Amino acid sequence: MSRWNDVTGGTAGQDYAARFAALARSGKDVHGEARFCAGLVPAGARVLDAGCGTGRVMIRLAELGYDCVGADLDASMLAVAQRQAPGLPWFQVDLAAFEPDLLGIAADFDLVVAAGNVFPLLAAGTEATVVKRLAAALRPGGLMVAGFGLNESHLPVPPSITLSEYDDCCAAAGLAPVGRFSTWDADPYDGGGYAVSVHRRLRMCGTS
């Protein structure tokens, strides 16, 4: 069972969406992740939002002209996403078992984005498998970007994956580092408790 489910019980969709809606009404910028992604690949590119939740990032990217697919295990989060954007493709799937072919979609994404602390909230021990699955969904040269907390002040659970461990998972999956930032506004990484990491697929990746 995922750490996310341990925290939320799989019923957080409405509350999660309401929190970000309130932030948006207060004038807070809630589209930093989408803006960051738009700086990596041009409009029209295929984007997989891995751990898409209520669809906040993906819906914005679709509005900007990207060809998006969303995948998440939490039915309550996906229910919100589907209500907000019924015309977009949303899939309920465990990222550790993500196989585009089984879902009827092509494994040639230009960008995979995993925002919202996806990796620290996975089921324990599945991190390397998820990286491998997501890397295999990229076309050669495609990019994967993941932003997640590294300490308890940036996470709802105890820290579970370090940057060096994440980089090792990426290297094993055929991904090479491109850049690392401390925010979705692309501020340089300073060794703090949150990091946004960009890696590029360099070779063929297996899922076994």
Q: Is 70 exposed, middle or buried (0-12, 13-18, 19+ CB in 10 A)?
A: buried
Strand ordering across the sheet containing 109-114: 90-92, 67-72, 46-50, 109-114, 138-149, 194-201, 175-181
Instruction: Determine the residue type at 28.
Output: K
3-state secondary structure (DSSP) of residue 185: coil
Alpha-helical segments (H) within 41-153:
56-63, 75-84, 100-103, 127-136
- Looking at the chain, which runs of residues are DSSP E strands? 46-50, 67-72, 90-92, 109-114, 138-149, 175-181, 194-201
- Tell me, what amino acid is at 95? L
Model pLDDT for residues 35-94, shown as the tens digit of each residue: 999 999 999 999 999 999 999 999 999 999 999 999 999 999 999 999 999 999 999 999
d(CA 158, CA 153): 9
What's residue 31's pLDDT? 81
The confidence score (pLDDT) of residue 128 equals 98
Written as one letter, the residue type at 191 is G
Burial of 197 (0-12, 13-18, 19+ CB in 10 A): buried
The answer to whether residue 150 scores a pLDDT higher than 70 is yes
pLDDT band (50, 70, 90) for residue 207: very low
Distance CA 206, CA 22 (A): 42
**Amino acid symbol at 173:** A
> Would you say how long the chain is, in residues?
208
Query: Which residue's entry shows tokens 């998440």?
Result: 72
Helices and strands counted in the chain (H then E): 8, 7
161: tokens are: 């994956």
| Domains of the chain (ranges, CATH numbers) | 3-14+52-201 (3.40.50.150)
Question: Mean pLDDT throughout 121-134?
Answer: 97
Q: What is the pLDDT of residue 208?
A: 43
